[in-house]
Amino acid sequence: MVSATGASRRSAGRPLNRVLSQEAITRAALTLIETRGYEGLTMSSLARALKVAPSSLYNHVESKGDVLILVQDHVMTQVDVSGFESEPWEQAIRRFAWSYRDVFTRHTPLIPVIAVLPVSGAPQTLAVYEAVTGGFERAGWPEPLIVPAIIALESFIFGSAFDATAPETIFESGSLAGAYPRFTAAVAARKDHAAQRQADAAFGLGLDAMIAGLRAAVAGNPR
């Protein structure tokens, strides 16, 4: 049937076909995560948000794991690697590490996904690694040591992201304080000493140690 304006009118009861893309799926998944958390992201809820049948969604992604890879790739664009273009290596590492930790403090459920999945299908993640690698190369790092250094940094950053979401009281001994006086006193001293949030103080201390260790490693392995 043709309307008065000459446009074709669809048959009653037949839904319009929706064009799905990885970008649309990623946006919908991020919206679900922001409103319901990662627990609220399921394939059925994602299909409903996209107003498609679950079977249509499965034509583009095979599982929730695939959706999380898309989300991961989007989230990685928020990691600041700009320092590797012009800043000294140590300053660039600090900018990168603090940014990386802060981003994944907001997305800790993604950490197990990133830690075990190949990056071959994640171009934005690869772009981050490319920038970091370029910064290491310009700082004179031997090529065989670059990826191990990145892995070491990521392991520390991921653990610190979990720590940043832990309660401030996580190390308090409570009613067992009398049985473990040294540790209890050290926890109290930590709180009295830190001028900043405890997780931030710990991350700063650890990052200083990581950078010093990496510098020592490259000094002992010249090109």
Tens of pLDDT, residue by residue over 119-158, are 887 899 999 999 999 999 999 999 999 999 999 999 999 9
Q: How far is CA 32 from the centre of its chain?
A: 17
pLDDT at 158 (0 to 100): 96
Same domain, 119 and 29: no
Q: For residue 79, with 0-12 CB atoms within 10 Å meaning exposed, 13-18 middle and 19 or more buried, which class applies?
A: buried
**Average pLDDT across the chain, whole number:** 88
3-class secondary structure, 194:
coil
Same domain, 81 and 124: yes
Domain limits at 157?
Answer: 75-219
* Percent residues over pLDDT 70 in the chain: 88
pLDDT at 112 over 90: no
In a domain, 120, yes or no: yes
pLDDT at 101 (0 to 100): 97
Distances (CA, A) of 166 to 159, 174, 195: 11, 17, 18
Same domain, 14 and 103: no
Looking at 11, 28, 61, the residue that finishes a domain is 61
In a domain, 69, yes or no: no
Same domain, 99 and 202: yes
Tens of pLDDT, residue by residue over 17-62, are 457 888 999 999 999 988 888 889 999 999 999 999 999 999 999 9
In a domain, 177, yes or no: yes
Same domain, 151 and 52: no
Residue 191 belongs to a domain with what CATH number?
Answer: 1.10.357.10
* C-alpha–C-alpha distance, residues 207 and 106, integer Å: 20
Confidence of residue 12 (pLDDT cuts 50, 70, 90): very low
How many structural domains does the chain have? Answer: 2
* C-alpha–C-alpha distance, residues 50 and 25, integer Å: 7
Residue 4 belongs to a domain with what CATH number?
Answer: 1.10.10.60
Same domain, 159 and 104: yes
How many degrees, rounded to 5, is the angle at CA 100 between CA 102 and CA 125?
Answer: 135
* C-alpha–C-alpha distance, residues 81 and 95, integer Å: 7
In a domain, 68, yes or no: no
pLDDT at 196 over 70: no
Report the predicted TM-score, pTM, of the whole model to 2 decimal places: 0.81
In a domain, 66, yes or no: no
How many degrees, rounded to 5, is the angle at CA 133 between CA 132 and CA 137?
Answer: 120
pLDDT at 159 over 50: yes
Q: Backbone phi, then psi, for 215, in 5-degree steps? A: -60, -40
Distances (CA, A) of 41 to 38, 59, 103, 138, 204: 5, 18, 19, 41, 33
Same domain, 86 and 56: no
pLDDT at 172 (0 to 100): 93
Same domain, 41 and 144: no
Looking at 37, 61, 85, the residue that finishes a domain is 61
Neighbours of 83 (CB within 10 A): 20
Distances (CA, A) of 21 to 18, 30, 58, 66: 10, 14, 12, 13
